[in-house]
Amino acid sequence: MKKFLLGVAFSAVLTSSAFAQTIGVSMSELDNFLTILRNGIADYAKEKGVEVQIEVAEKDPAKQLSQIQNFIASGVDAIIVNPVDTDATAAQSKIAADAGIPLVYVNRQPANLDSLPDNQTFVGSNEVDSGTLETKEVCRLLKEKGKGDGANIVVLMGQLNNQAARQRTQDIHDVIATDECSFMKIVEEQTANWYRTEATDLMNNWLSAGVEFDAVVSNNDEMALGAIQAMKAAGMSMEDVVVGGVDATPDALAAMKAGDLDVTVFQNAAAQGSGAVDAALKLSQGEKLGNVVWVPFELVTPENMDKYMGQN
Amino acid sequence: MATTTTTTAVGEPKRRVLPPEFNVFIGLLVIAGIFELLGWFVRGDSFLFNLQRVSIIILQVSVIGIIAVGMTQVIITGGIDLSSGSVLAMTAFIAMSFAQVSSNARAVYPSLTDLPVIVPVAIGLGVGLLAGLINGVLIAYTKIPPFIATLGMMVTARGVANWYTRGQPVSFPTESYASIGQGMMPVIIFAIVAVLFHILLKYTLYGRRTYAVGSNEQAARVSGINVERHLMLVYAIAGGLSALAGIVLSARGQTAQGGMGLMYELQAIAMTVIGGTSLTGGRGSIIGTTLGMIIFGVITSGFTFIRVSAYYQEIIMGIIIVGAVVLDVYRQRLRGRI
């Protein structure tokens, strides 16, 4: 009841200033990546002349739900949610659907994706793409180096209980299962928990055990950088080994510029933000979008890396 | 005071009893032997007789080893320090922010780049000492249990680390700063710290007071030790060593990242306890902790060497930790020491 009254109070404040379309946005938290996404929403909304009210749920699903209720009570035209808990989205979908207000999930895939109502959708990047793009490019580079008749690769996994780590590792296996890349063989596969120094230690252990490989495929850039440090310290030439990561962090791009890192993958946070605003506007005009609007992952290589400098 | 140390350190003078570290050393040999055997079986190669691998075994645990040295003296006083990993992260962020190169367009302090290496090191150590001192003051004067005081610092320091750059990683240090963590430098720094604290604990007043406070705080007080002041000193030094570990780790990876040092305090406690230091205080040594640390390194490298799947490693690691301590307690009891 209290929350409801608060919502009404809010709506009174809001509607007075809302002549243009209004979108309520609830972000899970604001880390490096989500801050770029948030700014993507704000900048694009400004461009489109839409008013946005952005709230942050501080990783609290209950707080997020009440933020959505407040948005509904204040009569926004659409809601964008970056879910705190992707398993708790059914309740969010229901209250928005009951109120007849369009809802867009952004970045994190809701668990109820397949049963989303017509005026709700998910804007994000398909996690399957990141590991696939990375591994395919590693495969291509290995062929280019004339290793197409047999190449050993080592795999650095992220935290074992993490969805992205599992998916990206699965992607590597899936790409190797295809005919074009079946010449690649995984000789070692271990976790370094996303961390740089843990990857350095792991690579040191492999090198000392005499493991021989032509490529390092890592679930993220940090671990790829750690492996590079170990290989360089051991006197290996980075010309001879293909190293791939995911994230396109500033550190990774610097390593790519130095010729150490060969492949990384960029998740376009700003494009997810603007895509979410676009989707919200379309839904509020009654357009149908389907369950998912994909914002593609982008492959970053030394040829196109300049475009990504300063974006992450 | 003198009596407390002799009764707790070594047994009766008549029979020549082996030092408690000997057990740990045997444990280390057994574990290494198992990996050696499995190594021949799985890889067809020796696990131990490879100089490069032996240096890696020590290299990969030396950062946590630095924390474990500080932890050992804290545990000898009968306390605990849960804040080490977070203090490590906090100092890594703060020190790195004063160690960045000017060519980095996204420096935390664009006007404070290319500083001499002493600046970030001094600031980092200062931050760590301060955090440790706060732990010490809370424990000594408010009388709250060390578990709670350092738990508070664990959460707070992690918060400071995340707040400091709003979660943004800090990278691109100067070459001189990075050199602190390159090659075998972490091992050298650990060795210096270990030798220094071995001497401090074994041969100085500082050490005798540390054991005395942990054996029997009341007796220590009666014998004229300023227990409060000494606890403050012990925790401040532990904080300083966590900071040193943070500096070495950030120099080694050339970056400070959000999740840095997570669970390091627990690993340091495990190393210390495996090394024969008693959680009830009054007993323990740096030699034991060093051996405990090497056991950790052997297990980590050994797992990779014999290709244990990542999913099983943590399970086996947990069993080894508990098993080692159970075995030690059992052997102590056999000798009638507990």
Residues A159 and A272 reside in one and the same domain: no
Q: Where are the domains of chain B?
A: 20-332
Please answer whether residues B96 and B115 qualify as being in contact, where contact means their C-beta atoms are separated by less than 8 angstroms: no
Residues A60 and A87 reside in one and the same domain: yes
What integer pLDDT is reported at residue A111 of this predicted model?
A: 87
Collect all residues with Cβ–Cβ distance below 8 Å to B67 and sequence separation of at least 6.
B84, B85, B88, B241, B242, B245, B264, B265, B268
Check A197 against B252: CB less than 8 A apart: yes
Return the structure tokens found at B226.
Answer: 């300023």
**Pairing mode, if any, of strands A298-300 and A22-27?**
unpaired
Q: Please compute, for residue A179, the number of CA atoms within 13 A of its CA located in the half-sphere on the CB side.
A: 0
Residues A18 and A114 reside in one and the same domain: yes
Residue B292 has pLDDT above 70, yes or no: yes
Check A201 against B59: CB less than 8 A apart: yes
Confidence at B45, pLDDT banded by 50, 70, 90:
confident
What integer pLDDT is reported at residue A15 of this predicted model?
A: 46
pLDDT in tens, A22-54: 999 999 987 778 888 999 999 999 999 999 999
Chain A residues lying within 8 Å of B253, measured CB to CB: 195-197, 200, 226, 229
CB contact B165 to A (< 8 Å)? no
Check B310 against A160: CB less than 8 A apart: yes
Confidence at B3, pLDDT banded by 50, 70, 90:
very low
Q: What is the ipTM of this complex?
A: 0.81
Residues A261 and A276 reside in one and the same domain: no
Check B260 against A195: CB less than 8 A apart: yes
Residue A4 has pLDDT above 90, yes or no: no
CB contact B253 to A (< 8 Å)? yes
pLDDT in tens, A223-241: 999 999 999 999 999 999 9
Please answer whether residues A219 and A156 qualify as being in contact, where contact means their C-beta atoms are separated by less than 8 angstroms: yes
The rounded percent of chain B whose pLDDT value lies above 70 is: 94
What integer pLDDT is reported at residue A16 of this predicted model?
A: 43
What integer pLDDT is reported at residue A71 of this predicted model?
A: 94
Confidence at B16, pLDDT banded by 50, 70, 90:
low
Residues A261 and A273 reside in one and the same domain: no
pLDDT in tens, B148-205: 999 999 999 999 998 998 778 899 999 999 999 999 999 999 999 999 999 999 999 9
Min Cα distance B62 → chain A (Å) is 11
Residues A170 and A272 reside in one and the same domain: no
- Nearest by CB to residue A205, choosing from B183, B253, B304, is B304
Residues A101 and A208 reside in one and the same domain: no
CA B133 – CA B151 distance, rounded (Å): 14
Total domains in the fold of chain A: 2
Please answer whether residues B138 and B148 qualify as being in contact, where contact means their C-beta atoms are separated by less than 8 angstroms: no
Question: What separation in angstroms does the CA of B101 have from each of B113, B126, B167, B246?
Answer: 5, 22, 20, 19
Give A155's strand partners: A189, A217
Would residue B78 be called left, alpha or beta, if left means φ above 0 and alpha means ψ between -120 and 50 degrees?
left
CATH of the domain at A207: 3.40.50.2300
A16 within some domain: yes
Give B171's strand partners: B255
Residues A141 and A118 reside in one and the same domain: no
Residues A132 and A257 reside in one and the same domain: yes
Residue A164 has pLDDT above 80, yes or no: yes
pLDDT in tens, B92-134: 999 999 999 988 877 899 999 999 999 999 999 999 999 999 9
The rounded percent of chain A whose pLDDT value lies above 90 is: 78
Residues A260 and A135 reside in one and the same domain: yes
A167 within some domain: yes
Chain B residues lying within 8 Å of A31, measured CB to CB: 167
Check B255 against A254: CB less than 8 A apart: no
Q: What is the torsional sign of CA B249, B253, B256, B262?
A: negative
Check A204 against B169: CB less than 8 A apart: no
Quote the domain boundaries for residue A66: 2-125+268-296
Please state, as a whole number, how many other Cβ atoms lie within 10 Å of the Cβ of residue A288: 9
Per CATH, domain B20-332 is 1.10.10: no
Q: What is the torsional sign of CA A273, A279, A281, A284?
A: negative
Mean pLDDT for all residues in chain B: 90
- Nearest by CB to residue A250, choosing from B106, B182, B259, is B106
A159 within some domain: yes
CB contact B52 to A (< 8 Å)? yes
Residues A255 and A155 reside in one and the same domain: yes
pLDDT in tens, A247-285: 999 899 999 999 999 999 999 999 999 999 999 999 999
Confidence at B325, pLDDT banded by 50, 70, 90:
confident
A164 within some domain: yes
Residue B9 has pLDDT above 60, yes or no: no
Residues A278 and A247 reside in one and the same domain: no
Kindly report the pTM of this predicted structure. Answer: 0.82
Interface of B with A in 70-129 (CB under 8 A): 105-106
